[in-house]
Structure 1
């Protein structure tokens, strides 16, 4: 992500799903968003079933926050490929 784009969109928001909210903001402003197959990402996997469910609950909350911010995001892409 380019720093100037993040700044233009108001920076990282204080929400659980800040990455998806920022990405959807880029899409809404007609920036190109694409998958980088060679990118590496590191994470800490949940070590228990309880931690796994907490993680999934957090991710679901992030999606809800994203849809609240951009409720029509799935319907605005008529000219875009998915």
Structure 2
């Protein structure tokens, strides 16, 4: 089975790649807006908190690394979908 659904690069985007330290040849745009942002300190990525308390993820490449697709989905399953399990 193909795994092409796990990664794509939108090279025509005017912001591509949107992180200054990103490797454009290994950059996944699937999670353009990080679905883990709302998890705060439990997101698993590299972030820093600004003086005003805002989470700055501009140096984080965790969701943009193609090999991390499964880890992102797993974390979403644990934090979002698990609480709704009826077990």
TM-score range, shorter chain: under 0.3
**Structure 2 length-normalised TM:** 0.25
Higher strand share: 2
